[in-house]
Amino acid sequence: MLQVEKVSKSYRSTSVLTEVTFQMEQGESLGLIGESGSGKSTMAKLIVGLEHLDGGQITLNGLDFQQLRGAELRKARRHVQVVFQDPWASLNPKLPVWKSIIEPLENYPDVVPSFLKGVRNDKRKMAEILLEKVGLDRDFLERYPHQLSGGQRQRVGIARGIGLQPNLLICDEPTSSLDVSIQAQILNLLKELKKEFNMSYLFISHDMASVQYMCDRIAVFKQGVLVDLFLSKDLFSDTRHPYTKMLVQATVER
Amino acid sequence: MTISVDFTQPLTNDYVKEETFFQSLPLLEIKNLSISSLGENKKEDIKLVKNINFTIKSGEMLGIVGESGSGKSLTACALVGLLPKSLKVTEGQIKLHGRELLNLSEKEMRRLRGNEIAYIFQNYQGSFTPFIKIGNQLIEALRSHRKISKLDAKKKVLIWLERVKLPANQVFTSYPYQLSGGQLQRAALAAALMFQPFLIVADEPTTALDVLTSENILDLLVELQKEYNCAVLLISHNLNHVLKRTDSIAVMYGGQIVERGLTNEIRKNPIHPYTKLLLQARPVLSRVVPEKLVVIPGEPGLVAEQGCAFALRCPKSFKKCSILPKMQSVGDSQWVACHAADLEADYTNASS
């Protein structure tokens, strides 16, 4: 589904990504892990097409976003949605929750996700169904972002992300701004939704334990280089890259 | 001007601390501390921290864990007399070496802060003024507390920058923006430690930093703490950090301490349902990945006004929970405030 081929990117003279190559299948979740500045988020931006590549190629369902323009790019983009780290920043404070949720659906009036068949013209109903998918009841429809807790806000962000039934959902540190007690709720929710919709996840995080819980495979970035790529179950294998071992060592309980 | 510094020479205490005299007493003793916000007319409005008790000994590292709004930072602020004006300590005692801190004047408190109790903040950018070089800031801090010549101060600062494993000469002449987050936090650590305080309050010291950087900074903190035998109050919402390094733990919920005791005991045998859930709910690296994580029901900040603060979210709550449970001891080194403590203790429910 997603092909990343020898992708390089630099800002001015600083190289952020160097010849990164990986593939993803439909329904697979891949974790991107690394420290700040290792290029994880840049990778996400390139996949969504928010930044231009300096070298290499990224194709989603066979389409190269860098080559597409205008209507075609718009059409292709709906297959990738993003859940951001900070749910505060991703919701419009002036819109009630239901309007925020269906905004992507309004941008693509032709798209009819399977779970919204029959109600595609009823905006509130669609918002209600999506809210239910993320475990919030209809009382939340009319609320504004400031009336929600961090966890609830992130749920709304997720509802917005899955509305168009994307092939790929990019989760950029979805739980790092949340309290410990809420992290588990959100991770469980994401895992259930993935199963239900057979979505692929690109799960960006600096927490090895969350990545291991969420992902089938893990890609380790260090200073813009993909140093290690492996199945989650091989995390403790001796053949791991020394840097991966260091990250594991730092996270594992003594 | 360059000064050659002999880093091999051992550091001598500036002034003799009467260690032996104090050894029998706990270093810090907090008794029945309550903090309230003041509403209109300066009347007590909402109780934010309720009757908390704990002690720290020299050389001990105590971790306070709990979600945002549970009162961890407020407790720490009260300790150094830095509560915002709208909040007030309404009850209780804070004693350092047996001396009551709550009665001290602002002037006495200022002398004590930095000198005897040091504070390390989460926001490392805020620890330094952006347009003064690190070295000069540290010298200024040192000279505001001690009678020391500029030259001696510089020597001392360089030694401490070295102690926190920074390239001392380079950092000395750097502006804060030229350093990374980890380097700044190390410099902040140097600033705190160079006074050789009795107690360091570290409020989420590594929350804004990367995984490996955090680990290194905390390791350094532990190393220096052991070396100088000072006490550390480590506030964090990252359970892993706290479990890994502290000697004892206090778990806070809704302004109350619900469980405290030796870290090892609590890790192996948590009793309060909130502690248990906290330990189970975090993803843990392991060979067998669970299909589903245990969750704590409800939203953070859902605090029962009467009785046990956690009752509204507690899966085990029953009628009696509307009465505030007393802190009771379980074994030699563990205390818990829960009506179901006897029942809960029967399940030896180790984390992961």
pLDDT of residue B169: 93
B66 and B125 fall within a common domain: yes
B198 and B298 fall within a common domain: no
- HSE on the CB side for A202, CA within 13 Å? 31
Nearest-Cα distance to chain A for B61, in Å, is 17
Q: Is residue B15 part of a domain?
A: no
DSSP letter assigned to residue A150: H
CATH code, B131: 3.40.50.300
**Which residue pairs, CB below 8 angstroms and at least 24 apart, start in B131-136?**
B131/B175, B132/B175, B133/B172, B133/B173, B133/B174, B133/B175, B134/B171, B134/B172, B134/B173, B134/B174, B134/B175, B134/B176, B134/B179, B134/B187, B135/B161, B135/B171, B135/B172, B135/B173
Nearest-Cα distance to chain B for A247, in Å, is 7
Whether chain B has a CB inside 8 Å of the CB on A68: the answer is: no
Confidence of residue A150 (pLDDT cuts 50, 70, 90): confident
Mean per-residue pLDDT, A138-143: 91
Domain layout of chain A by residue ranges: 1-79+168-175+199-254, 86-165
Whether chain B has a CB inside 8 Å of the CB on A231: the answer is: no
Lowest mean pLDDT among B14-28, B120-134, B301-315, B323-337: B14-28
CATH number of A1-79+168-175+199-254: 3.40.50.300
Lowest mean pLDDT among A117-121, B278-282, B348-352: B348-352
SS3 content of chain B, % helix, strand, coil (to 5): 35, 20, 45
pLDDT of residue B14: 42
pLDDT of residue B180: 87
B220 and B296 fall within a common domain: no
Nearest-Cα distance to chain B for A177, in Å, is 10
Task: Write down which residue in B245, B262, B283 finishes a domain.
Answer: B245
Q: Is residue B325 part of a domain?
A: yes
- Is residue B351 over pLDDT 50? no
Q: Which two tokens stand for residue B182?
A: 């980890």
> pTM of the prediction?
0.83
Strand runs (DSSP E) across chain A, as ranges? Answer: 2-11, 14-24, 29-33, 55-60, 63-64, 80-83, 168-172, 200-205, 217-222, 225-231
- The size of the A-B interface in CB pairs under 8 A is 90
From chain B, the residues in CB contact with A246 under 8 A are 212
- Is residue B283 over pLDDT 70? yes
B204 and B130 fall within a common domain: yes
Cβ–Cβ below 8 Å for B278 and A181: yes
Nearest-Cα distance to chain B for A183, in Å, is 7
Please state, in angstroms and rounded to a whole number, the distance separating the CA atoms of residues A51 and B326: 58
- Is residue B170 over pLDDT 90? yes
Average model confidence (pLDDT) for chain A? Answer: 90
Whether chain B has a CB inside 8 Å of the CB on A151: the answer is: yes
Confidence of residue B69 (pLDDT cuts 50, 70, 90): confident
Tens of pLDDT, residue by residue over B305-346, are: 888 999 999 988 889 999 999 999 988 889 999 998 877 665
B210 and B300 fall within a common domain: no
Query: Which residues of chain B from 135 to 164 reach within 8 Å of chain A, CB to CB?
Result: none
Mean per-residue pLDDT, A118-144: 91
The partner residue sitting opposite B285, judged by closest CB among A180, A181, A212, is A212
Mean per-residue pLDDT, B291-299: 86
pLDDT of residue B28: 93
- Is residue B23 over pLDDT 70? no
Query: Which residues of chain B from 321 to 340 reach within 8 Å of chain A, CB to CB?
Result: none
Q: Is residue B99 part of a domain?
A: yes
Strand runs (DSSP E) across B139-223, as ranges? Answer: 199-203
Please state, in angstroms and rounded to a whole number, the distance separating the CA atoms of residues B56 and A248: 32
B232 and B299 fall within a common domain: no
B33 and B147 fall within a common domain: yes
- Is residue A229 over pLDDT 80? yes
pLDDT of residue B93: 93
- Is residue B98 over pLDDT 50? yes
Confidence of residue B24 (pLDDT cuts 50, 70, 90): low
- Is residue B11 over pLDDT 70? no
Q: Is residue B220 part of a domain?
A: yes
B77 and B200 fall within a common domain: yes
From chain A, the residues in CB contact with B296 under 8 A are 181-182, 184-185
Cβ–Cβ below 8 Å for B283 and A213: yes
Tens of pLDDT, residue by residue over A154-208, are: 999 999 999 999 999 999 988 887 877 788 889 999 999 999 999 999 999 988 8
DSSP codes, A28-42:
-EEEEE--TTSSHHH
pLDDT of residue B345: 66
Q: Which two tokens stand for residue B270?
A: 């948590």
Average model confidence (pLDDT) for chain B? Answer: 86
Whether the Cβ atoms of residue A228 and residue A20 lie closer than 8 Å to each other = no
Q: How many independent structural domains does chain B possess?
A: 2
Cβ–Cβ below 8 Å for B290 and A253: no
Q: Is residue B3 part of a domain?
A: no
pLDDT of residue A222: 92
Q: Is residue B253 part of a domain?
A: no
Mean per-residue pLDDT, B275-297: 87
Please state, in angstroms and rounded to a whole number, the distance separating the CA atoms of residues B27 and B54: 11
B116 and B217 fall within a common domain: yes
Tens of pLDDT, residue by residue over A41-92, are: 889 889 988 888 898 999 998 888 888 888 888 888 889 999 988 777 888 9
- Is residue B146 over pLDDT 90? no
Task: Determine the Cα angle at B219 with ends B161 and B248, to 5°.
Answer: 125
Cβ–Cβ below 8 Å for A35 and B213: yes
B184 and B237 fall within a common domain: yes
Mean per-residue pLDDT, A32-47: 88
- Is residue B132 over pLDDT 90? yes
User: Which of B150-164, B207-221, B332-346 holds the top average pLDDT?
Assistant: B150-164
B313 to chain A: closest CA residue: A181
Q: Which two tokens stand for residue B183?
A: 């380097």
pLDDT of residue B311: 92
- Is residue B347 over pLDDT 60? no
Nearest-Cα distance to chain B for A143, in Å, is 16
Q: What percent of chain B has pLDDT over 90?
A: 47
What is the domain range of residue B340? 270-346
Q: Is residue B198 part of a domain?
A: yes
